[in-house]
Amino acid sequence: MRPMIFTLLTLLCFTTPFARSTDAKADPSDSHKIQHVLFLVSDDLKASALGCYGNTLCKTPNIDRLAKEGMVFENAYCQGLWCAPSRTSFMFSRYQGEGTTNLGQCFREAGWHSARVGKIYHMRVPGDIIAGTDGNDVPSSWDERFNSAGLEAHTPGHYACLNLNIFTDALENRQSTRMPHRMFVTVRYNGDGSDQPDSKSATKAIELLKEHRDQNMFLAVGFVRPHYPNVAPQDFFDHYPWDTMTLPEAVENDISDIPKAGLAKTRNDNNPIGKYPDNQRRMWAGYYATVEFMDTQVGRILDELDQAGLRDSTAIVFCSDHGYHLGEHGFWQKSNFHEEVTRVPLIIASPRMPSGRTQSLVELVDIFPTLTDLTHIKTPSDVQGKSLVPILEDPSQSVRTSALSLHHKGEANNLGQAIRTPKWAFMHYKDGTEELYDMEHDPLQFTNLADQSDFQTTKKSLTTQLQQRLSNAQINK
């Protein structure tokens, strides 16, 4: 195993199959125009892990300072429940499937230089990261693209497979690509982190900012953490002693009112992780350590913008593709409609826009038209999102009354749909079962009201809203 991995990693960590010149030059004297767009995407990052979203334990000083300078969207929701559909959705601003023009392509066709570093479209983590390959990347998006390779679970250091209660420094027999227990792996090691994919991505992003500072550039930087395996230097793990981690609130018979279609695939009641509460705490420690490591890389890029004098001409977006369960309801990972998965961080900091926070409901499909609106680039006609510029100008404004999320494994296999309003979270599954939560009185979603007689009028109204949203989004139910 090891010789093959190290052979792969002796190849180029960065691949550059595209190099198209552009004549679009940024005019340094034109201070009222946005000349650069920086799109930062984290992987499997739940909003509730960030300080700017209320977390008092996880250290995210760099994302938090971006939040202070920009607009924090308290109620942003993903349209896909796992990496591939979510990323396709926000890159094409479509609820399902691809449109005619993607976000990077739109900037290219407007004469901007478009570059990708790391994971923007779906990549298998750890598979494509170990191999340094493109995954499901869409070449039309970029003038140049760079992959950031890493050893992932094979990083020399203290390895744990927490659901199997395995702890070792040995490099043999580690859970890795396509292996069934890879999502419960942590690796803490002695190093400065420069060998990790996210550090490499930040380094390359800084190089590109320097190289193209005099051009209009759309730069998308995709971090792979905190996606499993949770690999980070020991220093970051030291900030989160596992025995101080608090497990999510639990109630008796919590999932008894959740229909089978609404249950997470991996749970405490069907996976060995349920037998090891201390290892569940170690999962939280590993998640937080890699969130902080990712935040450090965000800080390096933001520092470069400041030092290069580009901050006042750069629009910055930070988001994640979806959230993540770490034992809430006994659930692990993603691919379900509960709040820890569908609610995502979204921060937009743009020149001449006020900082602040907004409760307005927004969707990740809204990023595309927001960026074209801010940069005065024509928005493609098949884009389905809405510009958030009115909210950036005034956080009390709204552009939509609900947020739509879809659970699908391909366009012909819709497993369910969900709608989120300011008060309600409503899920409807392919088999006809449903969930309904009062988010004002039950924000942790412990009581499913879908079958209670007192809430049938509410459910009927939400069903109508959901059907209208699906019709407008051209989704076959």
Q: How much is the pLDDT for 94?
A: 98
Per-residue pLDDT at 477 exceeds 80: no
Residue 183 predicted with pLDDT over 60? yes
Q: How far is CA 5 from the centre of its chain?
A: 27
Taking 80 as the threshold, does the pLDDT of residue 16 lie above it? Answer: no
* pLDDT value at residue 409: 76
* Residue 379: per-residue pLDDT: 98
Q: Strands 36-42 and 325-326: what pairing? A: unpaired
Q: What pLDDT is recorded for position 447? A: 98
* Dihedral angle computed from the Cα positions of residues 280, 281, 282 and 285, in that order, rounded to the nearest 10 degrees: 130
- Burial label, 298 (beta-carbon count in 10 A; 0-12, 13-18, 19+): buried
Residues 296-318 pLDDT 10s: 999 999 999 999 999 999 999 99
Where are the extended beta strands (E) located within 295-402? Answer: 314-320, 325-326, 331-333, 343-344, 346-349, 356-363
Q: pLDDT at residue 5 above 60?
A: no
Name the pLDDT band for 414 (thresholds 50, 70, 90): confident
To which H or E segment does residue 181 belong?
A: none
pLDDT of residue 7: 41
Q: What is the pLDDT of residue 13?
A: 42
Name residue 117's beta-bridge partners: 146, 221
Between 476 and 93, the more confident residue is 93
Contact yes or no for 112/30 (Cβ under 8 A):
no
Neighbours of 379 (CB within 10 A): 17
Tens digits of residue pLDDT in 318-348:
999 999 999 999 999 999 999 999 999 999 9
Place 138 in a pLDDT band, splitting at 50, 70 and 90: very high
> What structural domains and CATH numbers belong to the chain?
2-26+35-152+190-401 (3.40.720.10)
What mean pLDDT is reported for the chain? 93
Distances (CA, A) of 13 to 8, 145, 301, 304, 419: 9, 11, 19, 22, 41
Q: Are 153 and 129 in contact (CB under 8 A)?
A: no
For helices 367-375 and 83-92, give the axis angle rounded to 10 degrees: 30
The runs of H, that is alpha helices, within 386-452 are 389-393
- The torsion angle over the Cα atoms of residues 250, 252, 255 and 258, rounded to 10 degrees, is -120
Encode 248-266: b = buried (16+ Cβ within 10 Å), e = exposed.
eeeeeebbeebbebbbbeb
- Examine the pLDDT at 29 and tell me if it is beyond 70: no
- Percent of residues in the chain assigned helix, strand, coil, to nearest 5: 35, 20, 45
Query: What is the structure's pLDDT at 216?
Result: 98
pLDDT, one tens digit per residue, over 35-82 is 999 999 999 999 999 999 999 999 999 999 999 999 999 999 999 999
Quick one: average pLDDT of 154-173? 98
Mean pLDDT calculated for residue range 424-440: 98
CA distance 114 to 106: 9
In the 8-state DSSP scheme, what is residue 353?
P
Per residue in 164-175, pLDDT (tens digit) is 999 999 999 999
What distance in Å separates the CA atoms of residue 151 and residue 169, rounded to the nearest whole number?
15
- What pLDDT score does 410 carry? 63
Q: Is pLDDT of 9 > 90?
A: no
Query: What pTM value is reported for the model?
Result: 0.93
